[in-house]
A and B are shown apart, each in its own frame.
Chain A
Amino acid sequence: MTSMLTQTDKVGFNQLGFEQFLERRIDPVWITELRKQSWETFQSMGWPDSRDENWMRSDLRGFKLDKYLPINETETQQVVGAPVRLIEGVDLGGSIRMDNGLVTSESLDPKYAAKGVVFGSLSRCARDHADLVKKYLHKQIESGVDRFAALEAAMWTDGQFLYVPKNVVIDKPLHIECAMGDGCTDLSHTLIVLEEGAEATVLLESNSPSETSGGCHIGGVEMELEARSNLRFVGLQDWGNAAWHFAHKRARIGQDANIQWTIAAMGSRFAQVDQQVHLVGPGASSHVNGVLFTRGRQHITYNTIQRHAAPHCNSDFLYKAVLQDRSRTVWRGMIKVDVGADKTDGYQRNDNLLLSDHARADSIPGLEILADDVRCTHGSTSGRVDDELIFYAQSRGFTRAEAIRMIVTGFFQQIFDRITIESVREALGVAIARQVRQYD
């Protein structure tokens, strides 16, 4: 009996922990209700296992949620030493800094605020702009998708909210930094709403104090692009190599609206990301660029869906991965075309470059087409780095490491050519060069 008591007394992601969490919160009633429902869902579900297709190639055995504690909102969070990479030489229109899932500073150029733009802490905005947040929050990500989504919906501590009113153009990038301390947790949510004709650029980076840091991030991203709006969204995931990273990321694209979405996955020991773009209005378009670069024993999974629910939409997904050491990537791509989504133009591609015989890249492209008049193409390649290329470069004076770095950079060039923000191209170039191991 004693041991039972100790078990239940321990505050973690358990009933007691959830109740104490609710007591600490200053949430509107509707949010509390959502949290309670999601908590029920969380309690009723088991962890995903290999029977679930999306988790078939993921091994969660090393993951123990009870090793992590909910962040206490009443305590000051400060993560020291996490490097910021995306804003070198960039004139920002606003920024949000988060530490362990809590917003610690926020700013927005007053000229945008005067036009009705909202950019700041999600917890605060849920109180100050309740109607707006309520309309969109957790509408795309169902808490029943899996246990991580349910936990995030129940216990998210904070996040960022961006709202750009009709026809307002934010001509300077907005920056979001999410730092997570070693061994800490980050349960945060990103909510972006662009009204008709609005435009914005958002640079989000997640980082840790050091390369070896651990921690647990469970997050969600929801983006709503109304008609003719335009969003450029960049996410650089650079958690420490001992961190767990679970995320659901969704975007709904309205009529003639356009998203250019770039993700770079560099960090974490294990990452499982569900990334979906739903094209819901005629003429909607999406360009998604994915850069994955793994080493050590990292395991990174991207499950992507490009869903065409309206006619005349365009989706173009390109993922490139470079793998070192004993790392592993899984990319599962699906183009879904609904009945009536004629004149769909869907493209998906995944190329993998293996720098080691012990690395492994799984690539599973897929199509589900229910409309008649569509054009969908997909493909994937995986290959070992060619020793003849290395020798050729060495015979021109490149060291072996320089040769490999150059080949890797060349491999990613196709993606760089698609990224329209210079600071992002440069930051990714630097991050990639840093990631290449020294080879003897």
Chain B
Amino acid sequence: MSHILRIENLHVSVEGKAILRGVNLEMKFGETHALMGPNGSGKSTLGLAIAGHPNYEITEGSITLDGEEITEWEADQRARAGIFMAFQRPVAIPGVKTADFLRHATTNVRRPDRKEGEDLIPMREFRKELKSKMEQLKIDSEFARRYVNDGFSGGEMKRAEILTMAMLSPKFSILDETDSGLDADAVKLASASIAEIGRDKMGLLIITHHDKLLEHNPPQFTHVMLGGRIVETGGSELARELHDHGYERIRKTYPDAEAANQEMLGKEEPATV
């Protein structure tokens, strides 16, 4: 497997406001990348732009998957091509059972040419696979009958996202703060699950503030985002430095990006980690 996701000079605006100002990033299948940066620097924006959120307008630059331009693709085309994003705040879909949702999603992603109305993966076959994945991730089997994310705790939502990732087995996964809002035990479980499901089996882009997640999933590359650009890229030692010392050095080293970051935050207090 030698897939490659390449982001070149990406500029993204939301409601006419520029957020990303020229992002370059290249990921290969099997690699783990950490994406770090202070609040408002554009990390989630990058994730959502790659996933194809319609409100995130790409004004310049490109996203290619295995050399194919996907910049203009709808989110579902990207999903079928192997792009996945675990959301920071997944939405609830009342009345739709998790198992039914995942069966439809899994069928579409595995059979990218499937037309609407064509058969889904046979129920028995799907249930069996789902059950084994849920056991592997230590998720209660009752989960499958509950409505998608409806009334889920923070931890349950994040685990449901990891389960979805496991079922869809994408080429590239963006994990947007999959550790936020979790207690220490839940972070540990989520980290171990990501390692088990994703490590070496896909390209991982982990957006996080937490060292636990990276401890279980040591990145080959750490990217630091500030003011809508990736200002520095290093190895796992960079992630450790940022975790231990914060973004002070980064802010000082890249005053232009820091100014852009402050501008994007508007009058809000600059948050630091």
Q: Which residues in A have some Cβ–Cβ distance to B below 8 Å?
A: 386-389, 391-403, 406-407, 409-414
10 other contacts beyond A389-B93, A395-B78, with CB at 8 A cut-off? A392-B90, A394-B74, A395-B85, A397-B79, A398-B104, A400-B74, A402-B104, A402-B116, A407-B93, A407-B96
* Contact pick for B75, options A386, A395, A401, A411, CB 8 Å: A395
The total of interchain contacts (Cβ-Cβ below 8 angstroms) comes to: 82
- Nearest Cβ distance between residue B54 and chain A, in whole angstroms? 7
Cα A406 to Cα B147 in complex, Å, equals: 12
Residues of the A chain whose Cβ atoms lie less than 8 Å from the Cβ of B93: 389, 392-393, 406-407, 410
Query: Does residue B126 face the partner (Cβ distance < 8 Å to A)?
Result: no
| Contact yes or no, A388 B94, CB < 8 A | no
Residues of the A chain whose Cβ atoms lie less than 8 Å from the Cβ of B147: 410
Cα A396 to Cα B109 in complex, Å, equals: 8
| Contact yes or no, B91 A392, CB < 8 A | yes
* Contact pick for A401, options B51, B87, B116, CB 8 Å: B116
Cα A192 to Cα B116 in complex, Å, equals: 42
Residues of the A chain whose Cβ atoms lie less than 8 Å from the Cβ of B168: 396-397
Cα A409 to Cα B95 in complex, Å, equals: 7
Cα A412 to Cα B94 in complex, Å, equals: 10
Q: Which residues in B have some Cβ–Cβ distance to A below 8 Å?
A: 51-55, 74-76, 78-80, 84-85, 87, 90-91, 93-96, 101, 104-109, 116, 147, 164, 168
- Nearest Cβ distance between residue A353 and chain B, in whole angstroms? 11
Cα A396 to Cα B101 in complex, Å, equals: 9
* Contact pick for A391, options B54, B107, B116, CB 8 Å: B54
Which 4 residue pairs spanning A and B have beta carbons closest together? Answer: A410-B95, A413-B95, A397-B108, A394-B75
Cα A407 to Cα B93 in complex, Å, equals: 7
Residues of the A chain whose Cβ atoms lie less than 8 Å from the Cβ of B109: 396-397
| Contact yes or no, B76 A398, CB < 8 A | yes
Cα A229 to Cα B101 in complex, Å, equals: 40
Q: Which residue of A lies closest to B104 (CB)?
A: A398
* Contact pick for B96, options A386, A397, A410, CB 8 Å: A410
Cα A395 to Cα B79 in complex, Å, equals: 6
Cα A393 to Cα B104 in complex, Å, equals: 10
Majority SS of interface residues in chain A? helix
- Nearest Cβ distance between residue B56 and chain A, in whole angstroms? 10
Cα A398 to Cα B104 in complex, Å, equals: 7
| Contact yes or no, A406 B96, CB < 8 A | yes
- Nearest Cβ distance between residue A437 and chain B, in whole angstroms? 13
Residues of the B chain whose Cβ atoms lie less than 8 Å from the Cβ of A389: 91, 93
- Nearest Cβ distance between residue A207 and chain B, in whole angstroms? 22
| Contact yes or no, A396 B79, CB < 8 A | yes
Residues of the B chain whose Cβ atoms lie less than 8 Å from the Cβ of A402: 104, 108, 116
Residues of the A chain whose Cβ atoms lie less than 8 Å from the Cβ of B116: 399, 401-402
| Contact yes or no, B79 A413, CB < 8 A | no
> Given A401-B116, A402-B116, are A395 and B52 also a contact pair (CB < 8 Å)?
yes
Residues of the A chain whose Cβ atoms lie less than 8 Å from the Cβ of B87: 392
| Contact yes or no, A391 B94, CB < 8 A | no
Residues of the A chain whose Cβ atoms lie less than 8 Å from the Cβ of B164: 396
Q: Which residue of B lies closest to A406 (CB)?
A: B96
Residues of the B chain whose Cβ atoms lie less than 8 Å from the Cβ of A410: 93-96, 147
Q: Which residue of A lies closest to B76 (CB)?
A: A394
Residues of the B chain whose Cβ atoms lie less than 8 Å from the Cβ of A401: 116
| Contact yes or no, B95 A398, CB < 8 A | no
Q: Which residue of B lies closest to A389 (CB)?
A: B91
Cα A35 to Cα B245 in complex, Å, equals: 91
Q: Which residue of B lies closest to A402 (CB)?
A: B116
Residues of the A chain whose Cβ atoms lie less than 8 Å from the Cβ of B51: 395
Cα A414 to Cα B80 in complex, Å, equals: 31
Residues of the A chain whose Cβ atoms lie less than 8 Å from the Cβ of B54: 387, 391
Residues of the A chain whose Cβ atoms lie less than 8 Å from the Cβ of B53: 391, 395
Most chain A CB within a 10 A radius of its CB, from B105, B109, B147: B105
| Contact yes or no, B95 A411, CB < 8 A | yes
Residues of the B chain whose Cβ atoms lie less than 8 Å from the Cβ of A413: 94-96
